[in-house]
């Protein structure tokens, strides 16, 4: 009964809802008491998602590692455990680790659902697209996003389609495809409104704001961020804030927003977007300060082994890589 209640609770209240977190915790404890490893891993993936969305990046990573250690190839929840580890690794600035575990997860998955109610193949493929983008494989990122959405449509599972489209909207944003981002984001918002899904409607609002731009865009983003914070959903906040900084025409507001984003990234450990925050912040600096910020951005991107980030930062520094997809 506890497992069965998690998907509807998540769809209606969001990953970071206390109801979802407490239900997952009870399920983990009960499965542990009964020595039901597969059931415990299922519940752990649900609890991982709650901690992750709350912005507890290191806690969620450690929980994902624990889940991976409990299962082996052929085990019922093998793919789901690796999915959780991949997601945490990506946002902690470990894209190579993420790529490895997303591949393991997708190869191991059939048509099962995650404990939070999404089709596992949809959620994995759509998120893997973001890791591919960081590695500079933009074509693969676009393909994975489209494939995840197509799979969700074919399944007829509405919540999975919302998730697939939400991640696809981010992929379009990363690829600077405004019209495609706007279309996907608008679809996410419409479906969330129609079926009373939460959390991803805020994604749609922020991404639609970026795609539209101008004062209306800024207002949409600000309202979406306010609602995410109210839900205690802090993961991706540095990324969301960078979209606000890029959308506003107020230079001082942009600088302040990027400072807040950088502080949030450092506090939570969500380091994958730090090179981009430093790059964007450098645009508001002059002379040596600008060059120092860009050099630091390149250094962080290289340490993370993120070719896409390295290429972006080097381009602004005047050292454009000949092949943005080539490892540094």
Domain ranges of the chain: 1-109, 118-220, 236-328
DSSP for 34-81, please give it. Answer: TT-HHHHHHHHHHHHHHHHHHT-HHHHHHHHHHHHHH--TTSTTHHHH
Query: What is the mean predicted confidence (pLDDT) over 220-243?
Result: 98
pLDDT in tens, 142-188: 999 999 999 999 999 999 999 999 999 999 999 999 999 999 999 99
The pLDDT assigned to 317 comes to 92
Tell me which H or E stretch contains 141.
Answer: helix 138-155
For residue 327, pLDDT beyond 70: no
Least Cα distance to 244 among 263, 231, 259, 265 occurs for 259
Candidates 3.40.50, 1.25.40, 2.60.120, 2.40.390; CATH matching 118-220: 1.25.40
CA distances for 217 relative to 197, 208, 211, angstroms: 22, 7, 7
Least Cα distance to 87 among 120, 42, 136 occurs for 120
The pLDDT assigned to 321 comes to 39
Ranking 72-81, 99-108, 201-210, 231-240 by mean pLDDT, the lowest is 72-81
The pLDDT assigned to 322 comes to 35
For residue 13, pLDDT beyond 90: no
Tell me which H or E stretch contains 220.
Answer: helix 214-230
Ranking 21-35, 97-111, 294-308 by mean pLDDT, the lowest is 21-35
Burial class (CB in 10 A: 0-12, 13-18, 19+), 28: buried
pLDDT in tens, 77-134: 999 999 999 999 999 999 999 999 999 999 999 888 998 899 999 999 999 999 999 9
Other Cβ atoms less than 10 A from the Cβ of 323: the count is: 9
**Is residue 76 very low, low, confident or very high in pLDDT (cuts 50, 70, 90)?**
confident
pLDDT in tens, 267-286: 999 999 999 999 999 999 99
CB within 8 Å of 53: residues ≥ 6 apart: 14, 15, 16, 199, 233, 234, 235
Core vs surface per residue 251-289: b (16+ CB within 10 A) or e: eeebbebbebbbebbeebbbbbbbbbbbbbbbbbeeeee
The pLDDT assigned to 320 comes to 41
Least Cα distance to 300 among 257, 259, 260, 270 occurs for 270
The pLDDT assigned to 319 comes to 54
Give 286's DSSP letter: -
The pLDDT assigned to 326 comes to 37
To the nearest whole number, what is the mean pLDDT of the chain? 93
**Is residue 1 very low, low, confident or very high in pLDDT (cuts 50, 70, 90)?**
low
Fold of 1-109: 1.25.40
- Cα gap 141→296, rounded to integer Å: 26
Query: What is the mean predicted confidence (pLDDT) over 304-328?
Result: 73
CB within 8 Å of 12: residues ≥ 6 apart: 196, 197, 198
Name the residue with tokens 């107020």: 250
- Cα gap 124→118, rounded to integer Å: 10
The pTM (predicted TM-score) of the whole model is 0.94
């Amino acid at each position: 009964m506890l497992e069965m209640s998690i998907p509807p609770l998540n769809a209606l209240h969001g990953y970071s809802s206390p109801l979802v977190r407490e239900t997952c915790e009870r399920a983990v404890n009960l499965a542990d008491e009964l020595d039901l490893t597969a059931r415990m891993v299922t519940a752990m993936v649900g609890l991982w998602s709650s901690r992750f969305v709350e912005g507890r990046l290191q806690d969620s990573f450690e929980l994902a590692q624990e889940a991976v250690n409990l299962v082996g190839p052929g085990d019922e929840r093998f793919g789901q455990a690796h999915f959780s580890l991949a997601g945490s690794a990506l946002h902690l600035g470990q894209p190579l680790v993420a790529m490895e575990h997303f591949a393991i997860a997708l190869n191991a998955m059939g048509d099962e659902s995650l404990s939070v109610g999404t089709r596992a193949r949809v959620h994995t493929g759509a998120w893997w697209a973001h890791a591919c983008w960081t590695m500079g494989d933009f074509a693969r990122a676009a393909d994975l996003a489209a494939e995840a959405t197509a799979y969700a449509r074919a399944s007829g599972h509405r919540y999975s389609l919302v998730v697939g489209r939400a991640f696809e909207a981010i992929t379009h944003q990363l690829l600077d495809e405004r019209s495609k981002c706007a279309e996907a984001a608008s679809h996410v918002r419409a479906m969330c409104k129609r079926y009373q899904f939460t959390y991803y409607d805020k994604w749609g609002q922020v991404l639609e704001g970026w795609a539209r731009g101008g004062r209306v865009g800024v207002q949409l983003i600000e309202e979406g961020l306010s609602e995410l914070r109210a839900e205690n959903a802090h993961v991706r906040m540095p990324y969301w804030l960078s979209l606000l900084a890029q959308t506003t025409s107020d230079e001082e507001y942009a600088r302040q927003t990027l400072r807040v984003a950088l502080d949030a990234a450092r506090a939570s450990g969500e380091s994958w977007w730090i090179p981009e925050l430093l790059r964007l912040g450098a645009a508001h600096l002059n002379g040596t300060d600008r060059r120092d910020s860009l050099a630091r951005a390149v250094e962080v991107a290289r340490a993370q082994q993120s070719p896409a980030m390295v290429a972006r930062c080097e381009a602004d520094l005047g050292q454009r890589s000949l092949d943005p997809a080539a490892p540094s």
